Structure 1
Amino acid sequence: MTEKSLAVLACRPEQSRGRRYPAETSQTRSDFQRDRDRILHAGAFRKLQYKTQVFVIHEGDYYRTRLTHSLEVAQIARSIARALELNEDLAEACALAHDLGHPPFSHAGEDALHAAMEPYGGFDHNEQTFRIVTELERLYAAYDGLNLTWETLEGIVKHNGPLGGAGQRPVRASIAAFDAEWSLELGGFPSAEAQVAALADDIAYNSHDVDDGLRAGLFSVSDLECVPGVGDIFAQLRRQFPDLAPRRLRYEGVRRMITLLVDDLIAETRRRAIEAGLDSPDAVRTIGRPVVGFSEPLREQEKLLRAFLFERMYRHFRVNRTRRKARQVVRDLFECYLAEPECLPDEWRDRAENSVDKIAAARLVGDYIAGMTDSYALKEHKKLFDLYSIVDT
């Protein structure tokens, strides 16, 4: 899609508010394309290959990881953005970046790391994503972070909505400090592209968790048929293809789920944009409500599906047993590194020992653990706590 064919709501790279550190323009890529590419080349993005989505890596190599999930979100976001004539590159950049801050073991790891760090300011994967792209990635000679455009940073920070107001998520410390120097207009909604990326995330994890849950045997297609929407899809499929093999049944059902959700989102977003008379990207930010969204019937169906997945998958005893062990691994590592920084690798040890206070040391330990993959965290735990394990020199 050429820039000339973009909708009036779309963000245009030539009208970007720029980067925190001025950079020469590229002759071959737009600023939003460069943002996408910088995210793809970041070390934190590569690590997503070995970070849990729901199932820990050693449970099987065919389940989703944070990397495959992020790629699926990016594909869905780009398709929706194209249909709505929004900027596909910005939507894709926001989608690819949205999970960079997740620690190992998914939400179990985040819960444990937040609990351990609560006396020192806590841990939040959205804030960690922001810190990764603004300071923790150290690839470029002239600055820390990826030096992304204002629009991509805004999308990363506010992809779930405004911050800081009544009933809104709080503004975390590092985001507040950055915003004081270069305002991201935290109280407003993000661009339509960022909103698309956020709901592409919902579409991806709902549909693909159904796929992974069926594959793992945590529930059956018959169980799903009590859930409005998705149940209707699988019931129709079984009537239409009564002898369809389970693998094909799963794939076809999930494919139809994604199509249903994407089509509904596109139609509802067009309706909202026309109804509100939106005529610019800034109008999207100041309207006071999301412009991208599902229709009310689909929103209700999504809530029921989430409730089903929560009960039958996320709280399944097999998942809970793994989550319990994952939380223990993270707790043990944090307590060990904070109490005995000499157990950290040299660079991290020196920085921990030279921290200005306990809060800074705890934050550094949290950064180190959050950057671990599942397998690395398990290996580190074995080295530190298994008395019969040989420690690498």
Structure 2
Amino acid sequence: MTTAPYAIHARPTRGRLHQEAESPTRSPWQRDRDRVIHSSGFRRLQYKTQVFINHEGDFFRTRLTHSLEVAQIARSMARNLAVDEDITEAIALAHDLGHTPFGHAGEDALSLAMESWGGFSHNTQALRQVTILERRYLQFDGLNLTWETLEGLAKHNGPVDNPDGWLRDYDAAHPLDLHTFASVEAQLAALADDIAYHGHDLDDGVKSGLLALDDLTSVPIVGTALKEARSLARHLPPRSNPAYGAGETGEPPAEGSVAIPALEQRLRHETVRRVINVLATDVLTQTKRNLLKLDPHSADDVRHADRPMVAFSPKIADANAAIREFLFAKLYRHWKVNRMTHKAKHVVAELFSTLGSSPGLLPDGWRDQALAATDEPARRRVVADYLASMTDRFAMEEHRRLTDLSVPG
């Protein structure tokens, strides 16, 4: 396949911070993707919350399965636009490496706790993870990813006009051109993130029993997709309709949720599949219009455009916003989710308070870093790094170890 002129090309590349010999068998972006997949931060995503805390059920998405879904959607769109699939996948797989335990609840708590010490955001933390916190190589800290992948992580949501203290300092030492847009590949990863989490949060919301299929009927795009799915089910002869197959049952219920009948289960999947297809197809159509108008001849032309190239059409952007509003109102702020969010924030805040005021309680390695810090902000940053690295399960266990006298330290 011929690569588009506005794609990122391996030659020339702006290289890596620490010089390494090129691989004879893989492109720089393939190496970046592989390093992300083999990183400890990526493995820990398996036990980090998407919406539902990890122990609430094995069928719900985690940060790991979310990242895999984002990568699949992003890579498919990259292929359609003739840009580099591998760097698109690398950015998509790495975009959530900085997430705390307990999803956005944990991030909100840690951000509030770090307000006086330089702040916290999962986007900046992802960059810290791949440049500092991974300790796998003898020659350097971090994964030593290419400039283009680091740029994509830093700017996949757009130019960074007011970087926090750490990102500002990093950019001064290793400039990422924060004032410009990122590449088409990074922009695709950002929109794929939107598409994936709207699709799978609708799926998990119905699976959990917090949403019903009938709740979706008035939601733009989703209601239409559900109507089409129900129409398809009605017009399939019973004998050839697997939803009515003899002996078939629905998914087993997750803890605290309800059993899903076979037909409803299939309707849910069919609806979500159609929603994702509508959103992804619209992104491709609108992006091609934008690229045709700009007529970029290089990735730098995309970076210096006056707006992002990868986008929804105005109509679908409004519909996508309506899906987000529905999910916030009916799922993310559901009283059962609110209860778990409240507990999660309490755990993270109490861990930060305890370990921040008594860094000697940190485990080996982390304790040495905290005690060697030259000032309080640096010490608190070590604590934030430690907390952000935790899985849901480990955070709960650590909280018990520090607060429950019956649990060994």
TM-score between the two structures when normalised by the length of structure 2: 0.92
**Distance in structure 2 (CA, Å) of the matches to 1:41 and 1:145:** 12
**Distance in structure 1 (CA, Å) of the matches to 2:174 and 2:344:** 37
Per-residue CA distance 1:139-179 (angstroms, 9 max, x = gap): 11111111111110100000000011xxxxx2122221121
Aligned residue among 332, 336, 347 for 1:329: 347
**Distance in structure 1 (CA, Å) of the matches to 2:19 and 2:365:** 30
Percent of aligned positions that are identical: 51
SS in 1 for 2:280: helix
Aligned AA for 1:186? Answer: L
- Are 2:93 and 1:101 aligned? no
Determine the structure 2 residue equivalent to 1:189: 181
Q: How many residues align?
A: 383
**Distance in structure 1 (CA, Å) of the matches to 2:233 and 2:114:** 52
Per-residue CA distance 1:43-77 (angstroms, 9 max, x = gap): 10100000000000111111000000000000000
- Aligned-pair CA distance for 1:235: 1.3
Q: Map of 1:58-137 to 2, 5 A cutoff?
A: 58-137=55-134
- Aligned-pair CA distance for 1:221: 1.2
Determine the structure 1 residue equivalent to 2:34: 37
Determine the structure 2 residue equivalent to 1:158: 155
Determine the structure 1 residue equivalent to 2:282: 264
Aligned residue among 186, 189, 202 for 2:194: 202
Aligned AA for 2:76? Answer: S
Determine the structure 2 residue equivalent to 1:274: 292
Aligned AA for 1:10? Answer: A
Per-residue CA distance 1:241-287 (angstroms, 9 max, x = gap): 14850111111111111111111111111111111222211110011
TM-score between the two structures when normalised by the length of structure 1: 0.96
**Distance in structure 1 (CA, Å) of the matches to 2:318 and 2:372:** 52
- Aligned-pair CA distance for 1:189: 0.4
- Aligned-pair CA distance for 1:298: 0.6
Q: Map of 1:343-382 to 2, 5 A cutoff?
A: 343-382=361-400
**Distance in structure 1 (CA, Å) of the matches to 2:366 and 2:199:** 39
Determine the structure 2 residue equivalent to 1:238: 230
**Distance in structure 1 (CA, Å) of the matches to 2:213 and 2:382:** 45
Aligned AA for 1:204? Answer: A
- Aligned-pair CA distance for 1:374: 0.1
Aligned AA for 1:132? Answer: Q
**Distance in structure 2 (CA, Å) of the matches to 1:257 and 1:379:** 38
- Are 2:241 and 1:223 aligned? no
Determine the structure 1 residue equivalent to 2:304: 286
Determine the structure 1 residue equivalent to 2:258: none
Spell out structure 1 runs of 4+ moving beyond 3 A.
none
Unaligned regions of 5+ residues in structure 1, if any? 165-169
- Aligned-pair CA distance for 1:7: 0.7
**Distance in structure 1 (CA, Å) of the matches to 2:169 and 2:111:** 20
Aligned AA for 2:281? Answer: D
**Distance in structure 1 (CA, Å) of the matches to 2:171 and 2:369:** 26
Determine the structure 1 residue equivalent to 2:206: 214
Determine the structure 1 residue equivalent to 2:172: 180
Aligned AA for 1:354? Answer: A
- Aligned-pair CA distance for 1:41: 0.8
**Distance in structure 2 (CA, Å) of the matches to 1:257 and 1:228:** 10
**Distance in structure 2 (CA, Å) of the matches to 1:288 and 1:89:** 26
SS in 2 for 1:55: coil
Aligned residue among 330, 339, 363 for 1:312: 330
Per-residue CA distance 1:196-227 (angstroms, 9 max, x = gap): 00000000000110000010111111111111
- Aligned-pair CA distance for 1:183: 1.6
- Are 2:365 and 1:342 aligned? no
SS in 2 for 1:15: coil
- Aligned-pair CA distance for 1:317: 0.3
- Are 2:46 and 1:57 aligned? no
Unaligned regions of 5+ residues in structure 2, if any? 244-262
- Aligned-pair CA distance for 1:182: 2.4
- Aligned-pair CA distance for 1:34: 0.4
Determine the structure 2 residue equivalent to 1:23: 20
**Distance in structure 2 (CA, Å) of the matches to 1:83 and 1:347:** 46
SS in 2 for 1:241: helix
Determine the structure 2 residue equivalent to 1:302: 320
Which region of structure 1 is more displaced relative to structure 2, 177-186 or 42-51?
177-186
Aligned AA for 1:215? Answer: K
Determine the structure 2 residue equivalent to 1:167: none
RMSD: 1.1
Per-residue CA distance 1:112-143 (angstroms, 9 max, x = gap): 11111111111111110111111111111111
Determine the structure 1 residue equivalent to 2:259: none
**CA contact 2:119–2:164 (8 Å) conserved in 1:** no
